[in-house]
């Protein structure tokens, strides 16, 4: 099993930067690694991503030197299992709104004694060929990055309880769904939404690394300065920004 470089960096207090990829493309995952992203976030929550297509993207991310992380479509043990068994080194689970739901994520992502993840000689375990399954479970529990998304008013209200759940490596603030839950759909930068994000940062107070999104260079810098140590952009935003800038330059 590969070492989780992103988890090591977060534990050392460093900032990590990644890219959401919502399209089934192993080449794009590899390119993101080659240009220097610390991790690739394979988005199986939105879009046409299946475990089969995510499998090839995990291979691409590994080839490019990026840590493969999957955002799963739902907080279900068997769903999480299928995406982790293909070799993802991290899992992001959306809409975690209670400590009970957070505990379910940890249980699904880790083996005994930390969780209840099903065990088999799958790719994540080197097909059972490179080490014993007993040794693999210990290593997997160490390397797996468990991320839960805080993206509703309910989650914010129960944040103190969620923070008490052992085994969570990153709390990821999802500004788009948070904005919607507050009555501002499509307005993640609304002042009231951002005030709640600041509230989350203050309440967490460095107890767990925080992650969030940033569509622009300026926003990425701002997120880092306000205390986020995991910053994620989107492949679509990157393509749009660079493409429009080139078109404007070429056409004068």
- DSSP 3-state of 21: strand
Torsion of CA 155, 159, 163, 168, to 10 degrees: 20
Task: From residue 160, give the alpha-carbon distance in Å to each of 36, 94, 116, 228.
Answer: 35, 18, 24, 18
Q: How far is residue 157's CA from residue 155's CA, in Å, rounded to a whole number?
A: 5
Q: Is 58 exposed, middle or buried (0-12, 13-18, 19+ CB in 10 A)?
A: buried
Q: What six digits make up the tokens of 53? A: 């297509």
Q: What six digits make up the tokens of 221? A: 């810098």
- Find where tokens 């490179």 sit: 130
* 56 counts as catalytic: no
Q: How far is residue 49's CA from residue 83's CA, in Å, rounded to a whole number?
A: 11
* Residues catalogued as catalytic: 46
């Amino acid at each position: 099993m590969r070492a989780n470089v992103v988890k090591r960096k977060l534990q050392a207090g460093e900032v990590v930067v990644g890219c959401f990829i919502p399209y089934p493309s192993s080449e794009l995952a590899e390119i993101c690694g080659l240009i220097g992203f610390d991790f690739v976030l394979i988005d199986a929550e939105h879009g046409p991503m299946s475990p089969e297509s995510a499998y090839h993207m995990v291979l691409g991310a590994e080839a490019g030197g990026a840590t493969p992380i999957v955002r799963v479509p739902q907080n279900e043990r068997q769903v999480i299992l299928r995406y982790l068994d293909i070799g993802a080194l991290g899992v992001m689970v959306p809409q975690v709104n209670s400590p009970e739901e957070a505990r379910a994520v940890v249980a699904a992502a880790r083996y005994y004694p930390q969780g209840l993840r099903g065990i088999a000689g799958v790719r994540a375990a080197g097909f059972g060929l490179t080490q014993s399954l007993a040794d693999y479970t210990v290593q997997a529990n160490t390397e797996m990055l468990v991320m839960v998304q805080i993206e509703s008013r309910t989650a914010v209200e129960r944040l103190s309880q969620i923070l008490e759940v052992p085994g969570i490596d990153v709390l990821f603030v999802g500004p788009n769904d948070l904005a919607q839950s507050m009555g501002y759909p499509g307005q993640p930068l609304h002042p009231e939404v951002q005030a709640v994000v600041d509230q989350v940062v203050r309440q967490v107070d460095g107890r767990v690394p925080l992650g969030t999104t940033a569509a622009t260079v300026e926003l990425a810098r701002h997120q880092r300065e306000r205390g986020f140590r995991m910053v994620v952009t989107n492949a679509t935003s990157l393509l749009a920004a660079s493409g429009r800038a080139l078109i404007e330059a070429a056409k004068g």
